[in-house]
A and B are shown apart, each in its own frame.
Chain A
């Protein structure tokens, strides 16, 4: 045990003395999450919309003018019946259709209630969400302006329909996605580099000739990165909760436990890589090209998995990140308990055990 602790101390020296690695380790998650976070909060400008006005009275005209003069929207078409909707969306240029019900001003005047329907092209989920938000705030503003004219406060009810992607699946994907990528990077890349560095320097031979158990060497290599990975995950969650108001709606402990599991999966991938190659360069190339790229492209982080060709969908199943993203999304956004994600957890755990067994086998064969 004392020998093992000495080994751990040495590993931490390596990490803390490598100034550049430290910057990457802790700077990258912060920069990535801020970048992605603010990138999806872009303003919208000159978005093309269509209006279907069944009422054609003063109020609907006023509202339309207000929306179109806001600078955010441009009228592409005036529609006359609902059958045109589909055709209009399929052209792909308009993002939103606003429908005013019949007798809009009459309803508003007499009952104080009137309905507007917003139909959005949600295939670009982030954009759809923003467009809806802007439209809604203009409508609210209008409501405030006219409230003096009526005895009871008027209420314009908006009904929103998202077309093509009703659950807006990728809206908050960036937090779970970034967690998966950062953890994969820290754990797999760093571990494989740290082990291959010892191989490259020849110190691995000395360690193997020493009475240290090879398993202990590997565990000693892995523990620092396990700790760093968890710290990184906590940093990401703190930023997402405090800067972007994406709090964890489920259990924090469950999320952390699942994160530890995913970090271990990534670490065992890192170990496996380092048993297969002998130098840092190759380890880095494999980690980046073989792990990072698929994680970014196929985990559903950038592109929705549902929209991929079937072959790629199948391929995405073997990516640990895909399952982790599903788990994090469920816990963070939907507040799901373990009962809802046990299958994904089981898959991830199975992958981890498989990878660990494989790398132990390889490590023994490849001692030299």
Chain B
């Protein structure tokens, strides 16, 4: 990895009382990379993401995101990242255009920029006719694609996706990943957690989390070689068994 480090975590730890959710985790993510964060439910993925987004203060270790410290400079981090959570994150009772306008406004974008972005996104998704429809009238897959574009409306350096494709059919997931690739090509770093192992294949590099620790970290190809497996699913099963 010769690229500029955009996320740099060293011995990052988060404890809740006696429970160690994230245990001494060290990794780097380069500019423009699609970095997969894999693990079973409860492995500590969401906690790790929240620390990097400035929503949780780490218990120990250090980390910088887009060059800013996660302990002291969370406000600066917030201006440089986008975030899409595992729960669906647009407003059902607003129209498509109003959602984009609201989130654009939250990031301080000017009206005309928001309008241009909205035109561009809707064209990209082939949803021009849905512009003024309430979000609740759209199918889940469309909403999720829209939620992703909304998360990058302010052209953040990094976008964090926390299980973005939960509950969507494989075709929609494929389309969703096309959008992710497009964003990465345009220079946005993508940090994505998932527990779909087929999605792991799409990532540039992958870290496997087990019980709060990173059990393996490499490209999908190398991981498969190392664990003598044909799919990421097999890799995961082998790692999880220890």
Binding site for B on A (CB under 8 A): 2-3, 6-7, 9-10, 13-14, 17-18, 201-203, 205-212, 367-368
Assess A208 versus B55: contact at CB under 8 Å? Given A13-B94, A17-B93: yes
Say which residue of B56, B78, B88 sits within 8 Å of A210 (CB atoms): B78
Residues facing A in B77-113 (CB within 8 A) are 78-79, 81, 83-94, 98, 101-103, 105-108
Give the residues in chain B near A18, CB-CB below 8 Å: 93
Assess A6 versus B89: contact at CB under 8 Å? Given A209-B54, A209-B81, A368-B50: no
Q: Chain B nearest CB: distance from A21 CB in Å?
A: 11
Task: Assess whether B53 is interfacial by the CB under 8 Å rule.
Answer: yes
Give the residues in chain B near A209, CB-CB below 8 Å: 53-55, 78, 81, 83, 160
Interface string of B115-158 (1 = CB under 8 A from A): 00000000000000000001000000000000000010000000
Classify the secondary structure of A's interface with B. helix
Give the residues in chain A near B81, CB-CB below 8 Å: 209
Give the residues in chain B near A2, CB-CB below 8 Å: 105, 108
* 12 extra A-B contacts, CB within 8 A, seeds A202-B87, A203-B89, A209-B55: A10-B98, A10-B102, A13-B94, A201-B89, A202-B89, A205-B55, A205-B83, A205-B85, A209-B81, A210-B78, A211-B75, A212-B106
Q: Chain B nearest CB: distance from A207 CB in Å?
A: 7
Give the residues in chain A near B88, CB-CB below 8 Å: 201-202
Q: Chain A nearest CB: distance from B59 CB in Å?
A: 14
Question: Can you name 20 A-B residue pairings with CB atoms under 8 Å?
Answer: A3-B108, A6-B101, A6-B106, A7-B105, A10-B91, A13-B93, A14-B91, A201-B88, A201-B91, A202-B85, A202-B89, A206-B103, A209-B53, A209-B54, A209-B160, A210-B107, A211-B75, A211-B106, A367-B55, A368-B50
Q: Are A3 and B106 in contact (CB under 8 A)?
A: yes
Q: Are A211 and B91 in contact (CB under 8 A)?
A: no
Q: Chain A nearest CB: distance from B147 CB in Å?
A: 9
Smallest Cβ-Cβ distance to A9: which chain B residue: B102
Give the residues in chain B near A205, CB-CB below 8 Å: 55, 83, 85, 87, 89
Q: Are B105 and A368 in contact (CB under 8 A)?
A: no
Query: How far, in angstroms, from A209 to B52 measured CA to CA in the complex?
Result: 10
Q: Chain B nearest CB: distance from A193 CB in Å?
A: 14
Residues facing A in B33-60 (CB within 8 A) are 50, 53-56
Smallest Cβ-Cβ distance to A5: which chain B residue: B105
Q: Chain A nearest CB: distance from B68 CB in Å?
A: 13
Q: Chain A nearest CB: distance from B219 CB in Å?
A: 29
Q: Are A206 and B93 in contact (CB under 8 A)?
A: no
Query: How far, in angstroms, from A210 to B81 measured CA to CA in the complex?
Result: 8
- Counting from the closest, the 5 A-B pairs by CB-CB distance are A202-B87, A6-B105, A209-B83, A17-B93, A206-B89
Give the residues in chain A near B102, CB-CB below 8 Å: 6-7, 9-10
Give the residues in chain A near B134, CB-CB below 8 Å: 17
Give the residues in chain B near A208, CB-CB below 8 Å: 55
Q: Are B83 and A206 in contact (CB under 8 A)?
A: yes
Smallest Cβ-Cβ distance to A206: which chain B residue: B89
Q: Chain A nearest CB: distance from B47 CB in Å?
A: 9
Say which residue of A13, A203, A211 sits within 8 Å of B79 (CB atoms): A211
Give the residues in chain A near B151, CB-CB below 8 Å: 206
Give the residues in chain B near A17, CB-CB below 8 Å: 93, 134
Give the residues in chain A near B86, CB-CB below 8 Å: 202
Q: Chain A nearest CB: distance from B66 CB in Å?
A: 13
Q: Chain B nearest CB: distance from A294 CB in Å?
A: 32
Query: How far, in angstroms, from A3 to B104 measured CA to CA in the complex?
Result: 9
Smallest Cβ-Cβ distance to B90: which chain A residue: A203
Q: Chain A nearest CB: distance from B49 CB in Å?
A: 10
Give the residues in chain A near B98, CB-CB below 8 Å: 10, 13
Query: How far, in angstroms, from A22 to B94 measured CA to CA in the complex?
Result: 16
Query: How far, in angstroms, from A147 to B107 measured CA to CA in the complex?
Result: 83
Give the residues in chain B near A6, CB-CB below 8 Å: 101-102, 105-106
Say which residue of A13, A14, A368 sits within 8 Å of B55 (CB atoms): A368
Assess A368 versus B56: contact at CB under 8 Å? Given A202-B85, A209-B81: yes
Query: How far, in angstroms, from A13 to B151 measured CA to CA in the complex?
Result: 21
Give the residues in chain B near A9, CB-CB below 8 Å: 102
Q: Chain A nearest CB: distance from B56 CB in Å?
A: 6
Query: How far, in angstroms, from A42 to B158 measured CA to CA in the complex?
Result: 69
Say which residue of B50, B55, B92, B108 sits within 8 Å of A211 (CB atoms): B108
Q: Chain B nearest CB: distance from A58 CB in Å?
A: 77
Query: How far, in angstroms, from A70 to B86 measured CA to CA in the complex?
Result: 74
Give the residues in chain A near B75, CB-CB below 8 Å: 211
Query: How far, in angstroms, from A288 to B108 measured CA to CA in the complex?
Result: 38
Query: How far, in angstroms, from A129 to B44 measured CA to CA in the complex?
Result: 69
Query: How far, in angstroms, from A339 to B106 measured CA to CA in the complex?
Result: 45
